Amino acid sequence: MKLWDCFSTALRALLSNKLRSILTMLGILIGVAAVISVLSLGSAQAAIVEESFATLGSNLIYVTPPELGMSGVGAQTTLTLEDAQAIAQNAPSVRNVAPMAQTYAQVVAGGESLSNTIIAGVTSKAQVVDNYGMAQGSFITDFDYGARSRVAVLGSEVANTLFGEMDPTGQSVRIGGRQFQVSGVLESRGTGFGFEDMRVYIPLSTFYTTLATAQVGSRGDSVNMISVQAKSGDLVESAEQEITDILRVRHGLREGEDDDFRVLNMASVAAQVTQVLGILQLVLAGIAGISLLVGGIGIMNIMLVSVTERIREIGLRKAVGAKRRDILIQFLIEAATLSFCGGALGVGLGWIIVKIMSVIATNLGFTLSVTLPGYAIVLAVGVAIFIGLISGLYPAVRAARLDPIESLRHE
Amino acid sequence: MLELENITKVYKAGQTEVPALRGISCRIESGEMVSIIGPSGSGKSTLMNIIGCLDKPTSGKYRLEGVEVDKLNDDQLAEIRNKKIGFVFQSFNLLSRTTALANVELPLIYGGASNRRQRALQVLESVGLAHRVTHRPSELAGGEQQRVAIARALVNNPSLILADEPTGNLDTRTSQEIMSIFKKLNEQGMTIVLVTHEPDIAAYTRRTIKLRDGQIEASE
């Protein structure tokens, strides 16, 4: 029997029971669509995370109180301005140190007001260390710090809410009831880390004289976070060690006592996050893969039913000269065709799902740049065909082994 | 052209052995039309299966056109069935969702023949069904279905037509039509073996082999 005849015989058998063929395909279709959308959304998410880390300054280390993460607002802080100065002076692997104190206050300008806005007291170093770009005007300068100027730099979201399209530079705002002059506006950071877009920055010295009293547990020179930039990527780890040593000595911690602060190396955080996302994606793809497996079982089930239903047909085919191989190949091709078509349609459906998700994400304000990785298509369709062949094998072998006499007698 | 020599067939049902054929020896010459009759349980189906190469004898020799069929494996038997034997069954055994034409083409597909359509149309015409080639079995009358089956049996130019109760599902008039087709084929030189339990049908053949309890009772 020629191969083409095997195909046309198998296709004819599938077409003669269209509804069943379609329902059988559905199992594989859904499985492949799930795998495709998980892989595709996963790679889009990985791209977002990578981009977010890229917006942060390079070689960054954050020093925070032990119980809180990056924002640290309102925490009982153990860090002081002197800690920051000690790190700057005594840690040889460190290039820049940017202490930051934070509190909440109401910000008013013109008729608009924002309650509970994060007010951050910073030095000029913050711009370098945290990699702030300026949309308008200039950042807090050393002069501002020295003179305790009443100047403020607005996050883009804050500027937009208070001033709309107008350039806020030179305008005055009231922060916690006190008059400040806007010296600049930060570039938007988008949806990445932190809340830079929703913050207001003022000189740290001014912060202590005007707003610090509002902070719980304040000592007058405490800071919520110290951002440290190491001299190079290679020196990040030694900088981490130096900071820990300096702070332990300054805080009078004995050996065996826990740190009363936390040192976070952003590079290792990035690596950890990437790793966790990778694992998460694998788990999701695994769960999606299970539905592929279920689809395969569906194919096996239907093929077994089909063999039983067509026993007489198989007997007749054998009587008129079909060899075992011919019957085996016919049923294998039927199973493979079901799973291949299911797989191909599944790629299409998966792609549609991913596109819809990206449109929804765009409406929610994210940019989700989805791509359909070529390896995902090949993998999903390949696995689908493989599962089809495996599930088809047993029913096909059963069909091929049927005894022609008994099959012809079968009612 | 067909020679059986001391053929036996024993079926095993659990521990007990049930002999179905106990030493059948006979010859059927080329161009003969023979009927095999006998009560149920006499072994005529078993004999028919062995002659049709669907089953192998437990012992004995079977030569079909000089080929010792009892020594062949399953695939070789499939090849013999395809090329040398045409089957006609009581219940027609047509593929139900397939046209008459495709049903007749089936043996040609497994034989790997070319020009299948042309050959299939030719035999359908010879059994008087040229006008119904695209009909499905469910759209055909019983007699017409059996004609499609006869066309299918003829399509590979076999040496032997083997018909198992070919008129068992048909009324008297249609039975006569079908038998006249067999008669005509035999007159054209086709060897035909009919298995039946109806004396009327056996009367169409010049020679009748009577089976009883797995043995030939009479051959006349």
Q: What is the DSSP string of chain B?
A: -EEEEEEEEEEEETTEEEEEEEEEEEEE-TT-EEEEE--TTSSHHHHHHHHTTSS--SEEEEEETTEEGGG--HHHHHHHHHHHEEEE-TT----TTS-HHHHHHHHHHHHT-SSHHHHHHHHHHHTT-GGGTT--GGGS-HHHHHHHHHHHHHTT--SEEEEESTTTTS-HHHHHHHHHHHHHHHHTT-EEEEE-S-HHHHTTSSEEEEEETTEEEEE-
Mean pLDDT of chain A: 86
A411 interfaces chain B, CB cutoff of 8 Å = no
Minimal Cα distance from A330: which residue of B? B110
Tell me the two tokens of residue B66: 């000089």
Closest residue in B to A403 (Cα–Cα): B54
pLDDT at A193 over 60: no
pLDDT of the residue at A218: 53
pLDDT band at A68 (very low <50, low <70, confident <90, very high): low
Q: Which of B79, B87, B112 sits opposite A319 (nearest CB)?
A: B87
Helices (H), A310-323: 311-319
CATH number of domain containing B84: 3.40.50.300
Q: Band of the pLDDT at A212, cuts 50, 70, 90?
A: low
Using the predicted structure, report yes or no on whether residue A411 has a pLDDT greater than 80. no
Taking the C-alpha atoms of residue B33 and residue B133, their distance in angstroms, rounded to an integer, is: 28
Domain of B35? 2-219
Structure ipTM: 0.94
Shortest alpha-carbon distance between residue A322 and chain B (Å): 6
Q: Measured between CA atoms, how close is A334 to chain B, in angstroms? A: 16
Query: Helix (H, G, I), strand (E, B), or coil: what is residue A150?
Result: coil
Query: Is pLDDT above 50 for A69?
Result: no
β-pairing, A178-186 vs A151-154, is parallel
* Interface contact A323-B110, CB threshold 8 A: yes
pLDDT bin (cut points 50, 70, 90) of residue A70 is very low
Q: Which residue has the higher pLDDT, A375 or A405?
A: A405
Is B95 in Cβ contact with A316 (below 8 Å)? yes
Closest CA relative to residue A2, chosen from B152, B113, B135 = B113
Between residues B220 and A303, the one the model is more confident about: A303
Which of A270-279, A297-306, A360-369, B177-186 is predicted with the least confidence, judged by mean pLDDT? Answer: A360-369
CB-based contact, B113 to chain A, within 8 Å: no
What are the residue ranges spanned by the domains of chain A? Answer: 3-53+271-409, 66-260
Which stretches of chain B drop beneath a pLDDT of 50? none
pTM, to two decimals: 0.74
Average confidence (pLDDT) over A156-169? 88
pLDDT tens-digit series, residues A339-372: 999 999 999 999 999 889 888 888 887 777 777 8
Task: Tell me the per-residue pLDDT of A104-138, one tens digit each, with 9 for 90 and over.
Answer: 889 998 788 888 888 999 999 998 888 888 988 99
Share of chain A above pLDDT 90, in %: 37
Query: At residue A182, does pLDDT exceed 50?
Result: yes
Query: Residue A216: its pLDDT value, please?
Result: 47
Q: Do B54 and A405 touch (CB under 8 A)?
A: yes
pLDDT at position A358: 86
Closest approach of chain B CAs to the CA of A19, in angstroms? 15
